[in-house]
């Protein structure tokens, strides 16, 4: 049974940006889209172990800071070389000003 | 002098095994602290600068080609082909590089189109080279891992000199494209290109080879050298500027370290070279933060230079610095130029650096 875990406050993530969230020995990335929706994915790029939270959010794309691999953070889809493996995404809800993800 | 372990530059050999074993492969690299807000601003993409530069680039290519053709058969064609050659055989490298990173333009297809054109100009397979460059960023100048080490140790000075003519690269690149077009990828290439991408490398090589065959056929039909002087051969006579600037990126500096401040070089250059090279003279900055587009690198340099070694004030200064190091490496391949960090700079992962420091210039 997956757990809902509080990741951060709404105000912790700027619009069109991403932050890192560590929980239970795992790392996640929490995104706030330009239209003010929240999303969550695994925190590391599937190509090589780089923190996506150091990357750049452009529209619905997160670009990895190491090799510029791109994913759609809403669907997890890898958008081409050098990333070939999709990113795991997680359900997100916002309650009482908190961003909560199901992991 | 510590005992020298012979370097094995293949990507599937003894040095590869050692790099993986010691944790040099796919290591965590040093980054200067930059506030997220500042880094976000620096990383921002924009089509404007690259569109402007690409229009200038293409206009200059077409103009110099037209001049060369117009004056063909007279000495007046030489300056036009001199310019054309550099635009074709040298500035294509920086366009290939920046568009390969996807940072030159904000719009993805623009990066992709310029990347494909520049790859063709350079006789580089756009698929294998994309992956080799990813490896270069993961394992910069890690022996046995990095596929893009320009001058290996001990240095072959004749090879380095011939690189300016493009002859050696031409002799490697063209047969490599033909081999790949026949469906054969080398073990080194297979070590960094994922299996699911291999077929794309073969298809790309076939396109390149087909265009070269068409160019040769056109030259034969026209009974003229002009098609070849315009397509393919500029890789020989126009490559010198790419080598002049590109060699300085890492030559003579430490290998097998995980700190770009110690194995990469920032060199101040004149505006023409910076246009041709698209600001890759800020090479420490580029390696540390590959997400920052070429047009923002001068700003990044200003922001983090307090934490970096002093940049070389000119190419001439950098080559004067490198030359005695290369000569000494002929006898002692462990020798290298130790980069001094500013007193306030943070040191990083001394266990890797100390091994090499015993052989360094003091």
Which pLDDT tens digit goes with each residue over B124-137? Answer: 999 999 999 999 99
Strand ranges in chain A using DSSP code E only, listed in sequence order:
4-9, 17-23, 26-32, 38-42, 56-58, 61-63, 70-72, 89-90, 92-95, 98-102
Nearest residue of B to residue A53 by CA position?
B36
Could you tell me the pLDDT band of residue B346, with boundaries at 50, 70 and 90?
Answer: confident
Residue to mutate among B134, B197, B204, with most A CBs inside 10 A, is B134
Q: Does B202 score more than 80 pLDDT?
A: yes
Q: How far apart are CA B249 and CA B309, in angstroms?
A: 14
> Is some CB atom of chain A closer than 8 A to the CB atom of B102?
yes
Nearest residue of A to residue B45 by CA position?
A58
| Interface touch B137/A58, C-beta < 8 Å | no
Cα-based angle A72, A75, A81 (whole degrees, multiple of 5): 40
| Interface touch A82/B138, C-beta < 8 Å | no
> Is some CB atom of chain A closer than 8 A to the CB atom of B132?
no
Q: How far is CA A39 from CA A5, A28, B124, B153, in A?
A: 13, 10, 38, 48
Q: Closest approach of chain B CAs to the CA of A3, in angstroms?
A: 30
Nearest of B190, B297, B257 to residue B19 by alpha carbon: B257
Under DSSP, the state recorded for B199 is: H
Q: Which residues of B touch A47 (CB under 8 A)?
A: 134
Could you tell me the pLDDT band of residue B349, with boundaries at 50, 70 and 90?
Answer: confident
Q: Which residues of A touch B138 (CB under 8 A)?
A: 48, 66-67
| Interface touch A56/B127, C-beta < 8 Å | no
Please state, rounded to an integer, the average pLDDT across all residues of chain B: 93
Q: Does B302 score more than 60 pLDDT?
A: yes
The kind and range of the H/E element at A103 are: none
Q: Closest approach of chain B CAs to the CA of A84, in angstroms?
A: 9
CATH at residue A40: 2.102.10.10
> Is some CB atom of chain A closer than 8 A to the CB atom of B197?
yes
Q: Does B1 score more than 60 pLDDT?
A: no
What is the pLDDT at residue B337?
A: 95
Q: How far is CA A50 from CA B28, B120, B150, in A?
A: 9, 31, 26
| Interface touch A68/B43, C-beta < 8 Å | no
The kind and range of the H/E element at B326 are: helix B315-331
Nearest of B192, B194, B201, B197 to residue B137 by alpha carbon: B192
- Kindly state the tokens that stand for B123: 């006789």
Nearest residue of A to residue B36 by CA position?
A54
Nearest of B339, B342, B298, B302 to residue B318 by alpha carbon: B339
Number of domains in chain A: 1
Q: Angle, to 10 degrees, between the axis of helix B91-101 and the axis of helix B77-89?
A: 20
DSSP labels for B120-178? HHTT--HHHHHHHHHHHHHSTT-TTT-TT-SS-SS--HHHHHHHTTTHHHHHHHHHHHH
* Whole-structure pTM value: 0.91
What's the average model confidence in pLDDT over B315-319?
Answer: 98
Q: Does B356 score more than 80 pLDDT?
A: no
Q: Which residues of B touch A54 (CB under 8 A)?
A: 39
Q: How far is CA B338 from CA A62, B91, B139, B334, in A?
A: 37, 30, 19, 12
Instruction: Quote the domain boundaries for residue A62.
Output: 4-102
| Interface touch A84/B194, C-beta < 8 Å | yes
Q: Which residue has the higher pLDDT, A28 or B171?
A: A28
Nearest residue of B to residue A64 by CA position?
B291
Q: Closest approach of chain A CAs to the CA of B133, in angstroms?
A: 9
Nearest residue of B to residue A68 by CA position?
B101
Residues of A with a Cβ under 8 Å from any B Cβ are 17, 47-49, 54-56, 58, 63, 65-68, 70, 81-82, 84
Q: How far is CA B110 from CA B93, B140, B291, in A?
A: 16, 27, 17
What is the pLDDT at residue B207?
A: 98
Q: How far apart are CA B231 and CA B66, in angstroms?
A: 14
């Amino acid at each position: 049974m997956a757990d809902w875990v509080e990741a951060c406050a709404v105000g912790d993530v700027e619009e069109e940006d991403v932050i890192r969230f560590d929980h239970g020995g795992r790392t996640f990335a929490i995104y706030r889209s330009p239209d003010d929706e929240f999303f969550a994915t695994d925190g590391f790029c599937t190509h090589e172990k780089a923190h996506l939270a150091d990357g750049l959010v452009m529209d619905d794309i997160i670009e990895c800071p190491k090799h510029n691999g791109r994913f759609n953070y809403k669907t997890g889809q890898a958008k081409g070389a050098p990333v070939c493996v999709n990113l795991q995404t997680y359900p997100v809800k916002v309650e009482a000003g908190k961003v909560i993800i199901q992991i | 002098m510590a005992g020298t372990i012979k370097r094995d530059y293949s990507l599937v050999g003894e040095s590869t095994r050692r790099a993986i074993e010691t944790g040099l492969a796919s290591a965590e690299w040093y980054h200067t602290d930059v506030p997220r807000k500042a880094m976000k601003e620096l990383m921002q993409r924009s089509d404007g600068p690259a569109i402007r530069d690409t229009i200038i680039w293409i206009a200059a290519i077409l103009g110099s080609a037209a001049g060369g053709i117009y004056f063909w058969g007279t000495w007046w064609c030489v300056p036009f082909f001199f310019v054309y050659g550099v635009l074709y055989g040298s500035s294509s490298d920086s366009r290939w590089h920046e568009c390969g990173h996807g940072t030159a333009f904000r719009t993805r297809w623009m990066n992709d189109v310029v990347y494909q054109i520049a790859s063709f100009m350079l006789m580089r397979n756009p698929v294998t080279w994309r992956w080799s460059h990813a490896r270069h960023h993961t394992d910069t100048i890690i022996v046995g891992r990095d596929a893009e080490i320009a001058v290996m140790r001990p240095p072959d000075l004749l090879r380095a000199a011939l690189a300016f003519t493009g002859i050696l690269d031409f002799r490697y690149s063209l047969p490599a494209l033909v081999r790949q077009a026949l469906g054969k990828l080398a073990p080194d290439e297979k070590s960094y290109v994922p299996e699911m991408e291999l077929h794309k490398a073969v298809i790309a090589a076939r396109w390149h080879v087909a265009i070269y065959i068409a160019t040769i056929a056109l030259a034969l039909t026209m009974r003229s050298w002009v098609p070849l002087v315009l397509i393919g051969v500029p890789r020989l006579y126009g490559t010198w500027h790419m080598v002049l600037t590109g060699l300085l990126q890492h030559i003579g500096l430490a290998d097998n370290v995980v700190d770009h401040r110690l194995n990469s070089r920032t060199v101040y250059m004149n505006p023409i070279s910076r246009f041709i090279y698209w600001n890759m003279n800020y090479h420490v900055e580029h390696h540390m933060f590959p997400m920052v587009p070429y047009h923002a690198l001068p700003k990044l340099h200003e922001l983090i230079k307090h934490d970096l070694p002093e940049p070389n004030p000119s190419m001439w200064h950098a080559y004067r610095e490198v030359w005695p190091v290369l000569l000494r490496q002929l006898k002692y391949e462990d020798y290298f130029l130790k980069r001094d960090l500013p007193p306030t700079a943070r040191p990083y992962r001394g266990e890797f650096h100390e091994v090499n420091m015993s052989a360094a210039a003091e």
